[in-house]
Each structure stands twice: as structure tokens, then as C-alpha cells.
Amino acid sequence: MSTAATPDQIAFFNIEKLYVKDLSLEIPHAPGIFLERENPQIDLQLHSEFSAIDQGVYEVVVTVTVTAKQAEKNKVMFLIEVKQAGIFQIRNVPQEDMESMLAGICPNIMYPYVREVVSDVSVRAGFAPVILNPISFEALYQQQKTQAGNTTQH
């Protein structure tokens, strides 16, 4: 008697498509801001979300908002918002592992693309490249789960 898994039981993960879903650049004080010599203070906002779009097919979106301000004047030099999306096919994965894949593994795959877009857009806008530090979405997901567990126990 064979206990080998049939093809419809084997865990399957595939990247179907990676794409920029939305991209925004604002330079509210151009052209005068280009005469300023002050290095900007960078604020980074990060968010990810996912949704099912078909049976076993999911869209994951990582949104990064970078705001560069002059520290002394608190004047916005530029603002870049990128929504990097991916379509992933995930099948035969235990339900308890799905959320960590969609909130951790998939955003980790997409984040290098977001970093590249932010750097490229900042340079094309006439500023120095913005190099975002690497981030582990898996660690962020685990941290959020731990915090959620701590708040529900009180």
C-alpha cells in the first residue's frame, strides 16, 4: 500500500505576477526645494495586505510611503508612495500556515522590488537615492501576532 502524496495533495507555491499597482511622487515645494542644501529627514510608513482573488490565488500588496522633510523647517521635500503587488498561487498549504505565507513570505519576496522603485523614483525626481533598509516581514508578522496575543489576554 502506497502512502505517496497525490499531485493534488502536494503543497504548491508559485509567483504568478509582480507589478507596481500604484505609484505617486509629490514635490510640493519645487522648484525652490532644489536650492536647499539640507539633508532630508526620512520617515517610512509600511503596510501590507492580502486578499483571495480566486481559488488558491491571492493578491498581496505592500505599500511603502517615504516622506522626506527638512529637519529645521519641517518642510516636505518629497513624498513617494509605492504599492507593489504580487499574485501568488498557493495550494495545499495547511490553513494555519497560510496567513504567515501571505503576511510574511510573500511581502519578503516583493520588498526588494519596492526598494528599487523608491530609489529609482527619488533619483528621477532630482534627489539623492533613498536606500531603504532590509525588513523581515516574517519577523513583523510574528511580532504583531505576539502583540495581539498579549492584548487579548488582558
Q: Return all residues near 42 (Cβ < 8 A) that are at least 6 apart.
A: 66, 67, 68, 130
Find out whether the peptide bond into 7 is cis, omega within 30 degrees of 0: no
The average pLDDT across 57-73 equals 94
12 domain residue, yes or no: no
5 domain residue, yes or no: no
| pLDDT score at 144 | 83
Q: What three-state secondary structure class fits 125?
A: coil
95 domain residue, yes or no: yes
Strands (E), the chain: 12-26, 40-54, 57-70, 75-91
**Total H helices, total E strands in the chain:** 3, 4
pTM of the model: 0.86
9 domain residue, yes or no: no
| pLDDT score at 6 | 61
The average pLDDT across 67-89 equals 94
| pLDDT score at 4 | 56
Q: Specify the DSSP element, H or E, that contains 127.
A: none
Please check the confidence at residue 140 and state whether its pLDDT lies above 90: no
10 domain residue, yes or no: no
CATH of the domain at 44: 3.10.420.10
Distance (Å, whole) CA 21 – CA 117? 12
The average pLDDT across 81-88 equals 98
| Residue range(s) defining the domain that contains residue 57 | 19-149
37 pLDDT band, cuts 50/70/90, is confident
Mean pLDDT across the chain = 90
| pLDDT score at 36 | 83
Distance (Å, whole) CA 114 – CA 38? 26
Helix 137-152 / helix 106-124 crossing angle, nearest 10 deg? 120
Distance (Å, whole) CA 27 – CA 126? 10
Are the CB atoms for 83 and 61 separated by under 8 Å? yes
11 domain residue, yes or no: no
| pLDDT score at 7 | 61
Number of folded domains that form the chain? 1
